Chains A and B, each alone.
Chain A
Amino acid sequence: MAQQQNARYDMHISGVGKAAGGQYGNMQIDGMGKVNGDIDCLACEVNGTSHFYGAVIAESIRISGTGTVDGEAKAGSILVEGFSTFKKDVSCKSIAVNGRGVLEGNLTAETVEIGGSAKIKGDLESETIRVQGGFSIGGFLNAGELDITLQHVSQAKDIGVEKITVKKGGRRRFFEQITPVLASRLEANVIEGDEIYLEYTHANTVRGNRVTIGPGCRIKLVEYKEEFKQDPSSQVKKAQQV
């Protein structure tokens, strides 16, 4: 193992350049870079524009400009500060999206932080998810703890969690004053969990042990086991204990 580590050389592209796939030490792209095969490296850092035509396996990935990864991405940590597109599945310990991230496959992680906006076409699975921005998830969202501070319109198809907390962000946004269509909210088909607290959420069905519906919600059906509370400003068409 130690020998393998020694054989890794750093790759640094400044300006415009291309690199082949393979094993590297640290990979740094300042400027414009293309990487033509699968790479396996320690730290991968992009400060300009980059296109990875293969898979990226790294201890850490940081994309501060724009980046596209055509293959799968596997990493200890991923930090997206600019605009990134991942065309296949992404799995990592922790991922933070502070710019805009588009994931066309599934995302599996232990912790997810979304500070900007994230669009995931597949499923999202993570132990903890903290959202301060907006997201749209085409598949199933499965989380241990999901904590959302609403800033934009966020969407998910089905959500299954142990604990979910959805709260409205402090600031009233400019667009919101023009039209309610742009008001920040969470839209979902089904939300299921043990402990549920929702604000400004539109959903068809909410099922859980303890369900608290805060202000601004529109929900067709609530099914609860132990406890149900509702803010008078919210619409719940039907609530039943099961």
Chain B
Amino acid sequence: MSDELISKKELLELTGISYGQLYRWKRKNLIPEEWFVRKSSFTGQETFFPKEKMLTRIDKILNMKDDLSLDELADVFSPNPGEITLQRQSILERNIVSKLTFELYMQHHEPSDWFSFDQILCMYVLETMLKNGSITQVEGEILIQTMEDHYGAFAGTDCELALIRKMGVPMFALLPASCEVHFDRDVKWVSRISLSQCIQELKLKIGESEG
């Protein structure tokens, strides 16, 4: 992830949104407070934003704001899990995760009918990684364990799930978002996915099939 910053003025010119919109979105928590970076410049203090994140976020807001209200959008972007619980049946029927993923997940759990958002998220991450071919089913089991043991510590904040391999030994790590980690040269990064991204996708997916 690049750390390039963009000034408020450039941002507004580039995206064509107005000051009012920008501040409205901030009030609605569509744009997190941490992205407003205050820095001194030759004209006094100015506000900067992380360029890439901000541009994708604004693009998403502009695309989705016709279908969803600002409050619903805020819910999508919030890293908080939300109060969604789904039944086994609807998870499968709505195709939130495939049957295969679901069964793999269930091998490690007592059978139950209702699943919390965190559990669904775990399945969703598993499914994403299985689908893009970065992990095997056995590694998927480690993933489930990692998520269950440690996701609690990161809940509500932006974090990433990383998979590395050294000499064929897989390792999962949960890291705070966009932090830098360096390993020795035999270590290969296999995959690194942003969980808040997954949360957004998952919330949209659940929301869509509901509406």
A89 CB-CB contact with B under 8 Å: no
Tell me how far the C-beta of B127 lies from the nearest C-beta in chain A, rounded to whole angstroms. 36
Contact with A along B7-19 (1 / 0, CB 8 A): 0010001000011
Q: Give a binary string over A112-142; 1 marks a CB under 8 Å from any B CB, 0 the rest.
A: 0000000000000111000000000000001
A189-B44, A204-B44 are known contacts. Are A127 and B27 too (CB-CB below 8 A)? yes
Interface size on A, residues (CB 8 A): 21
CB neighbours of B19 from chain A (8 A): 160-162, 192-194, 207-209
When distances are taken between beta carbons in the complex, the residues of chain A under 8 Å from B20 are 161-163, 193-195, 209
Question: CB-CB < 8 A to A189: which residues of B?
Answer: 44-45
**List of B residues within 8 angstroms of A194 by Cβ:** 18-20
Give B94-149 interface residues, CB cut-off 8 Å to A. none
The answer, yes or no, to whether A169 is at the interface (CB within 8 Å) is no
* Residues from chain B with Cβ under 8 Å of A31 in the complex: none
A71 interface residue, CB < 8 Å from B? no
Q: In the complex, what's the smallest C-beta–C-beta distance from B1 to chain A, in angstroms?
A: 26
Is A214 an interface residue, CB under 8 A from the partner?
Answer: no
Question: Does chain A have a CB within 8 A of B154?
Answer: no
Enumerate chain A residues within 8 angstroms of B18, measured Cβ to Cβ.
194, 209
Residue A37 lies at the interface, judged by CB distance under 8 Å to chain B: no
The 8 Å CB contact of B27, one of A125, A204, A209, is A125
A144 adjacent to chain B (CB < 8 Å): yes
Complex Cα–Cα for A242 and B22 (A): 17
Tell me how far the C-beta of B106 lies from the nearest C-beta in chain A, rounded to whole angstroms. 33
User: Which residue of chain A has the shortest Cβ distance to B13 in the bound complex?
Assistant: A242
User: Does B26 reach chain A (CB closer than 8 Å)?
Assistant: yes
Q: In the complex, what distance in Å separates the CA atom of A189 from the CA atom of B20? A: 18
In the complex, the 6 A-B pairs of residues with the closest C-beta atoms, listed nearest first: A162-B20, A194-B20, A160-B23, A192-B19, A194-B18, A142-B23
Q: Which B residues have a C-beta under 8 Å from some C-beta of A?
A: 9, 13, 18-24, 26-27, 43-45
13 residue pairs of the A-B complex, CB under 8 angstroms, read A125-B27, A126-B27, A144-B24, A160-B26, A162-B19, A162-B20, A162-B24, A163-B20, A193-B23, A194-B18, A195-B20, A205-B44, A208-B19
